[in-house]
Structure 1
Amino acid sequence: MTAKGKKGAGFAHLVPSADALAAITEQAVLVNAPISSVHVLPGFNHRGRYSGDELTSETLQELVKSIREHGVLQPLWVRLSNGEYSVIAGERRYRAAVLADLTHLPVLNFGVVDDERAEELALIENAHRTNPSIVDQTISGFKLLTRRTGMNQDELVRYLNQVRKGQIPDTHGVGEWLQATYGTGISVWAQQRSKILNFTPEELRAVEAKQLDVKAVYELLNVRDQAKRRELLTEAVQRGWKAEDVRKAVEALTPKKVHPLLASVDGLRGDLPRLRQLTGKEAARAQKLIAELRALLGPGKPG
């Protein structure tokens, strides 16, 4: 899979071939940078966007130990910002290196690049090292799209649905970009991926930890009571529920709507045998009422 020639077009399914990756990294310069000159821009890196757990000193201890023994084996990807290095990819390695009291870090400096290109590089680097989760892909993808289109998140979701329904043309080329970058189109992002934006932090963590499938969490979105939604999430994780199990639990929370006349009809069934007891004016009135009811219901369906 190769990179698109057009700037910002992304890479097919995010994972470039070895040759394509080499072409990307050839644009950068390997530097042994003082750690004091390396910084993380707040809110840029996708890690910790939905949970800060991955970046706490406790969760980094294993990586800190490895760095103390072997150093930083994979260079961080950085860009120039105000004369210093801003992390594009490798925030965990950076924070672990700080905890390990390193004085220098190996970095691949891509020079001055804008936020959109930096986000794409971060996705590529992460995809090359790991298999990006659907949560990471979605959060990063929507952030990139908001930058590309100038829309906020709600406007973007509305735009995706309007394009999907053929109500407006795809003037921003979002469909082509999504297909080239993620191998999925507008319908998937409008109808499925956009739902992930409404997951709670606890639900995101459950998906990331593979405790619950993303489709199972989709079902939880139908629960309006947030307390009950948290209870169901806990139960679903503990019992290892699939989407169908969660759907049944959610349906059980919602009482079935019963037509107000059905209760009366059920009671009337028991009284029908007593019609034969009516005579005279009462029987005539009953016949009239039955005729009125039939007229009200109209002709029945054939067969």
Structure 2
Amino acid sequence: MTKKRSSGFPSAAGLTLGLDALADVMGTAQAQRLPLQQIAIQPGHNPRGQYDQQAFQPERLAGLTESVSKEGILQPIWVRSLGAQRYGLIAGERRYRAAQLAGLTEIPVLVFEADEERASLLALIENGQREELHLLDETFAGFKALEARTGLAGNDLINYLNQVRKGRAEDVHQVEQFLKEVFGTGLSVWVQFRAKVFALTPQELEAVWKGEMEFSVAVALTRLPEGEIRSALLEQALQEKLTATAVKELIEGEQTTSRSTFQEQISKMKKTLPKLSRLEGQRAKEAEKLLRQLEALLEGS
């Protein structure tokens, strides 16, 4: 069953390149039948399962395996030539694994000439035009494609995208055009929203994956540091079906209260400080130690 999509974020349900150029892409492929043993799964190409690592377990493929046993593979699997009668899987991993479980020895394929970057793009196109991708799978796959395109990863990739977005760096890898052609979205969506996926906790990711919470709500939660307060707000958001706006308002209220309490503590301390001179012995030494810690904290701010 396709998971419910988080609203408010354009997605590969309408992969621009997939719809406009699918006929051209298909025209470059050769239809063949290949022995299963000549095809190898290549990690990272399949946009499905980017988040859910259990997506290809045999028990999850039981229904498809039964169908393949009765009717065979109806849609060819996409592969790329690796030379010497070896092929790398581009798209169709569930069908490939189901064919293995069903005991098939040969399956229909479309063979493409493609490097790593093009293989990742073809996988996005094939999956996007067949069935809507879950936002998490699509996002992780999108960043993996950007890594292949730029040679950058992690914070280096995000920083580069942000610099290009702000006009402070030349778009030498044409990432803006790539994102618009493939996903129909620009850099701002990926830098300001999609990149927040890497700041989500496992619990937040799970809630988004199961459709229990909108991705925008999870993004709002990242305004808080990880910890008990954020975890409690996550539970509240799930129980009360809070919107992103409601979560932001709760966070702003909490932060305003914290700032007010802090200011009150400062005011109270100003009135108490003169009493320090009355301390003697061990209590005076403890107070001196605390003052040194406070001084160090202030100097480092």
Corresponding residue number in structure 1 for 2:61: 60
Map 1:175-194; keep pairs closer than 5 Å.
175-194=176-195
> What is the alpha-carbon distance in structure 2 between the residues aligned to residue 32 and residue 54 of structure 1?
26
Please name the residue that 2:136 is paired with: 135
For residues 92-131 of structure 1, the aligned pairs below 5 Å read 92-111=94-113, 113-131=114-132
Matching residue of 2:47: 46
1:12/1:179 contact within 8 Å kept: no
- The change in CA–CA distance for 1:233 and 1:70 in structure 2 (over 3 A counts) is farther
Contact 2:45-2:119 within 8 A present in 1 as well: no
CA contact (8 A) 1:14 1:123 kept: no
Q: Could you give the per-residue CA deviations for residues 223-244 of structure 1, whole angstroms, max 9, x where no partner exists?
A: 3235664554455345433223
Please give the secondary structure, in 2, of the residue aligned with 1:55.
coil
Structure 1's consecutive aligned runs of 4 or more residues displaced over 6 angstroms after TM superposition are 263-266
Deviations 1:147-168 (A, max 9, x none): 2222222111111222222323
From the superposition, tell whether residues 250 and 67 of structure 1 become closer, same or farther in structure 2 (CA, over 3 Å): farther
Partner of 1:15: 18
- When the two chains are superposed, the root-mean-square deviation of aligned CA atoms in Å is 2.7
CA offsets per residue over residues 68-103 of structure 1, 9 Å max, x none? 222111111001124312110011111121112222
Q: What secondary structure is seen at the aligned counterpart in 1 of 2:59? A: coil
Structure 1 residues 104, 200: CA separation in 2 closer, same or farther (over 3 Å shift)?
Answer: farther
| Residues 218 and 102 of structure 1: CA distance in aligned 2, closer, same or farther (over 3 Å) | same
Query: 1:37–1:84: 8 Å Cα contact kept in structure 2?
Result: yes
User: Does the residue aligned with 2:258 lie in a helix, a strand or coil?
Assistant: coil
**How far, CA to CA, are the matches of 1:264 and 1:158 in structure 2?**
38
Paired residues in the alignment total 253
TM-score (normalizing by structure 1): 0.73
Counterpart secondary structure, 2:28: coil
Which deviates more from structure 2 when the two are superposed, residues 153-162 or residues 243-252? 243-252
- Taking the aligned partners of 1:205 and 1:107, their CA distance within structure 2 comes to 34
The structure with higher relative contact order (CA 8 Å, sep 6+) is 2
Q: Deviations over 1:103-147 (max 9, x none)?
A: 221111114x10000011101100110122332222122111122
Unaligned runs of 5+ in 1: 1-10, 267-303
Residue-by-residue CA offset, 1:253-281 (whole Å, 9 max, x unaligned): 65521265647989xxxxxxxxxxxxxxx
When normalised by structure 2's length, the TM-score is 0.74
Identity of matched residues, %: 39
Structure-2 separation of matches of 1:56 and 1:69: 20
CA distance in structure 1 between the partners assigned to 2:22 and 2:46 by the alignment: 20
Q: Residues 63 and 12 from structure 1, CA distance in 2 versus in 1: closer, same or farther, beyond 3 angstroms?
A: closer
Q: How is 1:214-233 mapped onto 2 (pairs within 5 angstroms)?
A: 214-226=215-227, 229-230=230-231, 232-233=233-234
> How do 1:1-303 residues align onto structure 2 when only pairs under 5 Å count?
13-17=16-20, 20-82=21-83, 83-111=85-113, 113-226=114-227, 229-230=230-231, 232-248=233-249, 250=251, 256-258=258-260, 262=264
In structure 2, the CA distance between the partners of 1:201 and 1:27, relative to structure 1 (3 Å rule), is: farther
Distance 2:151 2:252 in 1: 39
Structure 1: which amino acid aligns with 2:35? P
154-163 or 117-126, which deviates more: 154-163
The letter for the 2-side match of 1:75 is P
How far 1:216 sits from its partner (Å)? 0.7
Give the aligned residue type for 2:135. Answer: I
Q: 1:264 to 1:177 in 2, by over 3 A?
A: closer
Structure 2 unaligned residues grouped into runs of 5+: 1-13, 269-301
AA aligned to 2:79 is: V
Q: Which has the higher helix share?
A: 2
CA distance in 2, matches of 1:21, 1:119: 15
Decide whether aligned partners of structure 1 residues 263 and 114 sit closer, same or farther in structure 2, where only a CA change above 3 A counts.
closer
Determine the C-alpha separation between the residues in 1 that align with 2:33 and 2:262: 76
CA separation of 1:92/1:199 partners in 2, compared to 1, >3 Å: closer, same or farther?
Answer: farther
- Taking the aligned partners of 1:201 and 1:64, their CA distance within structure 2 comes to 30
Instruction: Tell me which residue corresponds to 1:274.
Output: none
